[in-house]
Amino acid sequence: MTLYKHFSSRSVLALLLIITSIATAQAAPKKMCVFDLLGANGPFFSQMKDYKTAALAWGVALELKPYTSERVAAEDFKAGLCDAVSFTGIRARQFNSFTGSLDAIGAMPTYEHLKSVITTISGKKAAKLMFSDPYEVVAIFPAGAGYMFVNDRTIDTVGELAGKRIAILDSDPAQVEMVNFIGASPVGTSIANMYSKFNNGSVDVTYGPAIVYKAMELYKGLEPNGGIINFSLVQLTMQIVIRKDSFPEGYGQQSREFALSQFDLRVELVKKYENTIPEKMWISVPEEDATGYLEVFRQSRIRLRDKGIYNGKTLKLMRMLRCKKDPQQSECTAADQE
């Protein structure tokens, strides 16, 4: 009887996993810059710990380094101080315009729309779109719908935004274009200070996912007459970008499939944050006003596509999915389509 026959198939598999883990542990860990406004104590950094565990099965040991500045995280990644980076899709646009356009203003109305898009582009057939030499996008996670936080509850239509001071990210030309288009006054900020500017009254409007309501204490800036417009401006994402040559062959596809498998869990967490916001803070948007928002956003996306800021392939894909879910929308027969 050979030695192998003394082992069950389960024992052999366990042994192989142990050998793989030992080999992985002995290899030099890959450094990963992780952006989270709350640093090592934040929710996104915590989620990257789960990703780190999953990466071991793909032959990579990750060393996570927290950053509270998204700009610095991106610069360190470009400088080669990190092998991988996790940050917002807006920041990822400079590394891959295709996935970086998923956060296009008004392009994905719901989490269901976003899941359809991520499912479509996470397959092997779309792998080439994830690569932009020397970078590869290896994960896309939902970060929550972006809502407008206003210090005056009467600001609930596009027209009423005219002349208002709106916090925009200096790193995103799309936001500058959008705010100028609606006749508002853009106030340049970074993610690190856009919420403090709202709280101290330097701007009238800011935006972000529900998690910032408590984490950034936005209830201070909302008092006494403000609120949150209950209309999704954008589906925000967190994306992981790697320097492809630094990782094993096939790592990217395994990672994207893992990220997709986590989508529903991540959305559940997002909704928990949304449900913690007091009902009185939400501002309902009449259907006719919502239609107005959608048309302004559509026109803005077309302008931004024509200026080379948004990726046309991404916009076309998202439009196809929107019209598949609701073919009665006027945009589905519009002459100036995305």
pLDDT in tens, 205-243: 999 999 999 999 999 999 999 999 999 999 999 999 999
Domain-by-domain residue ranges, the chain? 28-143+235-275, 146-234+282-316
Fold of domain 28-143+235-275: D-Maltodextrin-Binding Protein; domain 2 (3.40.190)
Give me the helices (H) in the chain, please.
Answer: 9-26, 43-56, 70-78, 89-92, 97-100, 111-121, 173-181, 194-199, 211-215, 219-222, 251-261, 263-275, 287-306, 312-325
Task: Give mean pLDDT, residues 316-324.
Answer: 95
pLDDT of residue 173: 84
Fold of domain 146-234+282-316: D-Maltodextrin-Binding Protein; domain 2 (3.40.190)
pLDDT in tens, 85-144: 999 999 999 999 999 999 999 999 999 999 999 999 999 999 999 999 999 999 999 999
CA-to-CA distance for 108 and 261, rounded, in angstroms?
20
For residue 24, is pLDDT > 50?
no
pLDDT of residue 8: 52
CA-to-CA distance for 30 and 59, rounded, in angstroms?
11
- Domains 28-143+235-275 and 146-234+282-316 equal at CATH topology level: yes
Q: Looking at residue 187, what DSSP letter applies?
A: E
